[in-house]
């Protein structure tokens, strides 16, 4: 760690890991309700459990991006954060908003719009948090060196905030509502979040492989171009069979098919850089997470997304467990793993230690990743059976749910294993063993 102000990232990383734990716990509870449908139905109904599960995920990922930005901006811009104090206030405000939202949900206070359930005042608070971040980070960028990585990251984070503004517009017509809803949901995860992913992976590759910045930046530009080219009009794949005009089918089919390409380019990028760099970075776990992120994002977002993206397929699979399978692996592969990669990389520097708990962290990686893959398979099978029984043969929804109960049991099993894996990961990141060697100077960075 070269700059003192990078330490503010610690707040965000610990905050993110706290919400990560909450997200996984609620996920296991939700998985249990699937097999014991009346469990907690009076105290904490399923819709609330799901709300906390998904909201906690999104908030901790965002918190992770803020943390990543506060960690990497000083190194990229070669200057301290504009105002570390503001960054800390921003953190507590964000944590407060997240906590208040969860408490509100438990008492049934929410707007009921999937993923954007936050009451209006919390949405306003989120915008204030975003503005504080954008001001602080942009001022840091302006006073320092401008690199492709920091520019792409900041453009992406600006658009994350701007696109969130569509969350404030909630037309009463459900089809129109969904049109705008996807401006937030799709253009985040299949648009600007991909830029965040590409820029953080590029940062990690520079640091860990020793490949020239010049080479990495070229790859970054290509990945960014491909993401935006396919992702923006790829929004069309959500406008199938929801009351939008039929021409969206053609646009959605063509562009969303191409959305696989940027994810594939990230796999090629990471592996090629690591192979080409041939450098033995001591933080093996961070490298494992980086490579794992690119691969699992390709499968979860790319392959599992393509599986049901064509309008003729989606006609049958829309809103079945196929969607759940894709959603789980895509979020895990692309964005959870991305955050865990940068946390694993940054924490030893922030704590002033040589990389620690590497074995435990990597066991956590394999256990969680295998369990997530298994969960994805069970949900995919559940979705295929559901699609056939419900959409092709026309059986009723609840009758079909009974038929796929076995898959829900297997999903619960894999969920418990995910909980074990995540516990190992969080433990390995947070609990620094006494034996971990201190970095004496605190300045020495691996060669760039």
Partner 1 sequence: MDNSDEQLMSSRNLDDIGDADDANWGGLEDLPGHPIMWVLILSELVVFGAFLLVFSAARISDPIGFASDQVQLDRVAGGINTLILLTSGLFAVFAVHATKAGDILRCRLWLLATSVLGMIFLIIKFSEYMGKFDVGIGLESSTFFTLYFLITGFHALHVVMGLGVLGVVAIWPSRINIETGTAFWHMIDMVWVLVFPVIYLVR
For partner 1, which is the closer residue by CB, 128 or 215? 215
For partner 1, which is the closer residue by CB, 246 or 319? 246
By CB under 8 A, is residue 276 in contact with partner 1?
yes
By CB under 8 A, is residue 146 in contact with partner 1?
no
Give ∠ CA 41-46-48 in degrees, rounded to 5.
110
Task: Select the residue interacting with partner 1 from 99, 113, 315, 448 (CB under 8 A).
Answer: 448
Q: Considering only residues 373 through 402, tell me which ones interact with partner 1, judged by CB under 8 A.
A: none
For partner 1, which is the closer residue by CB, 169 or 247? 247
State the number of binding residues for partner 1 (CB under 8 A). Answer: 25
Helix and strand numbers (H, E) in the chain are 18, 0
CA 230 to CA 15: how far, in whole Å?
33
By CB under 8 A, is residue 114 in contact with partner 1?
no
For partner 1, which is the closer residue by CB, 42 or 280? 280
By CB under 8 A, is residue 143 in contact with partner 1?
no
CA 384 to CA 311: how far, in whole Å?
16
By CB under 8 A, is residue 258 in contact with partner 1?
yes
CA 413 to CA 415: how far, in whole Å?
5
For partner 1, which is the closer residue by CB, 71 or 332? 71
For partner 1, which is the closer residue by CB, 253 or 314? 253
Annotate 16-76 with DSSP letters as a single string: HHHHHHHHHHHHHHHHHHHHSTTTTTTTS-HHHHHHHHHHHHHHHHHHHHHHHHHHHHHHH
CA 290 to CA 389: how far, in whole Å?
39
In the complex, minimum distance from the CB of residue 214 to partner 1, in angstroms, rounded to a whole number: 5
Site string for partner 1, 52-91 (x = CB under 8 A): --------------------------x-------------
Is 207 buried (19+), middle (13-18) or exposed (0-12) by CB count in 10 A? buried
User: Cβ atoms within 10 A of the Cβ of 49, count?
Assistant: 22
In the complex, minimum distance from the CB of residue 306 to partner 1, in angstroms, rounded to a whole number: 13
Give ∠ CA 138-216-2 in degrees, rounded to 5.
55
For partner 1, which is the closer residue by CB, 399 or 448? 448
For partner 1, which is the closer residue by CB, 45 or 442? 442
In the complex, minimum distance from the CB of residue 448 to partner 1, in angstroms, rounded to a whole number: 6
For partner 1, which is the closer residue by CB, 88 or 215? 215
Q: If residue 105 lies in a helix (H) or strand (E), which one and from where to where?
A: helix 84-106
Q: Considering only residues 194 through 213, tell me which ones interact with partner 1, judged by CB under 8 A.
A: 212-213
By CB under 8 A, is residue 279 in contact with partner 1?
no
Site string for partner 1, 214-253 (x = CB under 8 A): xx--x--xx--xx--xx--------------xxx--xx-x
How many residues comprise the chain?
Answer: 448
Locate all alpha helices (DSSP H) within 188-259, ordered by sequence: 193-209, 213-234, 247-258
CA 106 to chain centre: 24
For partner 1, which is the closer residue by CB, 78 or 399? 78
User: Cβ atoms within 10 A of the Cβ of 325, count?
Assistant: 25
In the complex, minimum distance from the CB of residue 359 to partner 1, in angstroms, rounded to a whole number: 31
By CB under 8 A, is residue 257 in contact with partner 1?
yes
CA 196 to CA 187: how far, in whole Å?
12
The token pair at 193 is 């979040």
In the complex, minimum distance from the CB of residue 129 to partner 1, in angstroms, rounded to a whole number: 32
Residues that bind partner 1 in the complex, under the rule CB under 8 A: 78, 212-215, 218, 221-222, 225-226, 229-230, 245-247, 250-251, 253-255, 257-258, 276, 447-448
């Amino acid at each position: 760690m070269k700059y003192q102000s990078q330490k503010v990232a610690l707040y965000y990383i610990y905050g993110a890991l706290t919400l990560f734990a909450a997200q996984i716990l609620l996920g296991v509870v939700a998985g249990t309700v699937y097999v014991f449908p009346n469990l907690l139905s009076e105290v904490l109904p399923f819709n609330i459990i799901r709300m906390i599960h998904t909201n906690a995920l999104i908030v901790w990922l965002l918190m992770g991006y803020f943390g990543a930005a506060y960690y990497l901006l000083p190194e990229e811009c070669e200057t301290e954060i504009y105002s570390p104090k503001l960054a800390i206030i921003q953190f507590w405000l964000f944590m407060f908003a997240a906590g208040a939202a969860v408490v509100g949900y438990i008492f049934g206070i929410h707007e009921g719009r999937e993923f954007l359930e936050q009451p209006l005042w919390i949405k306003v608070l989120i915008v204030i948090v975003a503005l504080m971040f954008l001001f602080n980070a942009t001022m840091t960028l302006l006073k320092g060196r401008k690199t492709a990585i920091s520019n792409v990251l900041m453009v992406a984070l600006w658009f994350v905030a701007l696109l969130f503004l569509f969350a404030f517009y909630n037309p009463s017509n459900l089809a129109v509502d969904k049109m705008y809803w996807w401006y937030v949901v799709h253009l985040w995860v299949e648009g600007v979040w991909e830029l965040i992913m590409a820029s953080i992976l590029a940062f990690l590759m520079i640091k860990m492989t020793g490949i020239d910045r010049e080479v990495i930046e070229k790859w970054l530009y290509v990945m960014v171009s491909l993401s935006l080219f396919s992702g923006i009009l790829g929004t069309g794949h959500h406008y199938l069979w929801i009351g939008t005009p039929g021409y969206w089918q053609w646009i959605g089919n063509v562009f969303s098919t191409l959305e696989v390409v940027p994810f594939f380019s990230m796999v090629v990028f990471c592996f090629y850089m690591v192979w080409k760099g041939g450098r033995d970075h001591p933080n093996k776990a961070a490298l494992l997470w980086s490579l794992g992120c690119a691969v699992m994002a390709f499968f979860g977002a790319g392959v599992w997304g393509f599986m049901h993206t064509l309008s003729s397929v989606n006609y049958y699979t829309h809103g079945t467990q196929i969607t759940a399978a894709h959603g789980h692996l895509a979020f895990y592969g692309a964005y959870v793993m991305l955050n865990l990669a940068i946390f694993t990389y940054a924490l030893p520097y922030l704590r002033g230690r040589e990389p620690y708990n590497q074995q435990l962290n990597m066991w956590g990686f394999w256990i969680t990743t295998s369990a997530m893959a298994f969960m994805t398979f069970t949900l995919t099978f559940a979705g295929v059976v559901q699609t056939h029984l419900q959409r092709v043969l026309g059986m009723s929804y609840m009758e079909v749910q009974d038929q796929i109960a076995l898959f829900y049991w297997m999903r619960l099993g894999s969920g418990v294993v995910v909980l074990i894996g995540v516990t190992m990961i969080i433990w390995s990141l947070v609990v620094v063993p006494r034996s971990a060697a201190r970095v004496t100077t605190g300045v020495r960075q691996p060669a760039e």
